Amino acid sequence: MDSLKRRILKDGLVIDKNILKVDSFLNHQVDLNLMYEIGTYFKNYFKEAKPTKIFTVESSGIAPASMTALQMGLPMVILKKETSKILSDNIYQTVIHSFTKSIDYNLTLSKKYITAKDRILIIDDFLAKGEAASGAIRLIESAGAEVSGIGIVIEKSFQPGRKLLESKGYRVYSLARISSLEQGCIKFCSDKNPSAK
Ligand code: 5GP
């Protein structure tokens, strides 16, 4: 997605060789026109997969996920990051490690918002090690539902997230794939999404 890549080059801040900050349009202030365009890309790519719901992880995935859900006419469900374990029969929980904050969360989903018949499209802002997406997959599969795809706004392809998810057979589609953040310089992958069909 060329407009997204241009925006990353214009406004992205390289914190170190592993972290890109995009607070001015995605993670703090949000550019809703850009989010709408992102939603259009995800809708066009994933419409054949016929998802029944969009899932995202709080909080930075909410903007792109909501614009995708709006355009696909689907409900959006936010997986919550609880700091403590909740003892209840009405929820699914799994532990994930936050890449940016270096802490563990209990990713939490109410059983009310998923059935075994659901086909879930996961949308998130970043893909790094694949922890958040893997946690979302565990929750979805605990309910007997199916993962119909994973849509990522910014993938850091030099980290192992995509390989991990693809090795388990999931379809990953990213709108901007970064090959390197070395020496403060943002470089994009030249190839298309490897699993894109
Ligand atoms: P993963 O779970 O794939 O290891 O990391 C993805 C999650 O960590 C995303 O939901 C995102 O919030 C956060 N994250 C990972 N890398 C970055 C980054 O370089 N910049 C920002 N802003 N968030 C990141």
- List the domains of the chain with CATH numbers: 2-79+116-188 (3.40.50.2020)
Residue nearest to atom 20 of ligand 1 (CA): 20
pLDDT band at 195 (very low <50, low <70, confident <90, very high): low
Any residues with CB less than 8 A from the CB of 41 and at least 6 apart, and which?
A: 1, 175
What tens digit of pLDDT does each residue of 44-82 get?
Answer: 999 999 999 999 999 999 999 999 999 999 999 999 998
Pocket test for ligand 1, best of 13, 16, 125 (most atoms within 8 A of CB): 125
What tens digit of pLDDT does each residue of 92-141 get?
Answer: 999 999 888 889 999 999 999 999 999 999 999 999 999 999 999 999 99
Q: Is 176 a residue whose pLDDT tops 50?
A: yes
pTM (2 d.p.) = 0.96
Q: Report d(CA 143, CA 78) in Å as an integer.
A: 16
Residue nearest to atom 9 of ligand 1 (CA): 126
Give the pLDDT score at 102: 87
Residue 71, token pair as written in the block: 């355009």
Residue 146, token pair as written in the block: 């199916």
Beta-carbon count within 10 A of 74 CB: 17
Give the pLDDT score at 66: 98
Give the pLDDT score at 197: 45
Q: Which atom of ligand 1 is nearest to the CA of 18?
A: 19
Q: Is 191 a residue whose pLDDT tops 80?
A: no
* Residue 137 CB–ligand 1 contact under 6 Å: no
Is 128 flagged in the annotation as binding? yes
pLDDT band at 196 (very low <50, low <70, confident <90, very high): low
Residue 131: what are its φ and ψ, rounded to 5°?
A: -65, -50
Is 32 flagged in the annotation as binding? no
